[in-house]
Amino acid sequence: MRRRVVFWGVAVALVALAVSLFGALRWSNPQPAAPAKVDLEAFNRNRVARQQAFIDTVTASGQWLDAPGGVRYRFIEDALGVGDTLKRGDWVAWQVRVALSNDSVCFERPLAFKWQATDVPTGFHDLAGRTSVGDSVEAWLPAHMAWGLTGYQTLIPPDAIIHLNYRWHAEP
């Protein structure tokens, strides 16, 4: 009988020790909390600032113009505003060359879209509103004004700064 009492006493003591160690480990090694909204906003602000610093560096010399959202562009050949003012849904037809910041070409082809009525990147719509038929333009677009965090098919990686060259044609 005495052996049984000692056995159960030792067993209870071991269980109590295990529970206390588990609790101590659990509290000393907490699971990481999900990022707060403030953390994500700060992360995105820093990401945009880094991309803008890069664009500022590559456009430091020359006659670059600023557009909203951090887009920088310059006219290689200016048709001097020959085109009409665009209205929502008007067709825009460009011959484009889209490259990454390391100048690797993603694609080079004709591109036609309806102004402010299609899902091409926001920066494209903004540039179309600032240029006209006959213009040749070089532009740098930060990721949030191009294809953003998703990229474009397998051609453009997520969060990529885009180096865009285009010539605006009269017909799509």
| CA-closest candidate to residue 134, choices 111, 168, 164 | 168
Q: Does domain 37-169 have CATH number 3.90.1150.50?
A: no
pLDDT the model gives residue 79: 72
The model's pLDDT over 32-56, given as tens digits with 9 standing for 90+, comes to 777 677 788 888 889 999 999 999 9
**Beta strands of the chain (E only): which ranges?**
65-67, 71-77, 91-100, 105-114, 136-141, 162-169
CA 67-76-100 angle, to 5 degrees, is: 65
- Whether the per-residue pLDDT at 77 is higher than 60: the answer is yes
Spell out the residues 6+ positions from residue 121 whose beta carbon is closer than 8 angstroms to its own.
Answer: 141, 145, 146, 147, 148, 162
Cβ atoms of residues 88 and 117 within 8 Å: yes
pLDDT the model gives residue 16: 67
Question: How many Cβ atoms sit within 10 Å of the Cβ of residue 71?
Answer: 24
Residue 65 and residue 72: Cα distance in Å, rounded? 6
Phi and psi, residue 91, nearest 5°: -80, 140
pLDDT the model gives residue 49: 93
The model's pLDDT over 98-126, given as tens digits with 9 standing for 90+, comes to 999 999 999 999 999 999 888 899 999 99
- Whether the per-residue pLDDT at 28 is higher than 60: the answer is no
Averaged pLDDT of the chain: 84
Residue 10 and residue 40: Cα distance in Å, rounded? 51
Domain ranges of the chain: 1-31, 37-169
Cβ atoms of residues 67 and 127 within 8 Å: yes
Spell out the residues 6+ positions from residue 128 whose beta carbon is closer than 8 angstroms to its own.
Answer: 86, 92, 115, 168
| CA-closest candidate to residue 86, choices 121, 59, 50, 126 | 126
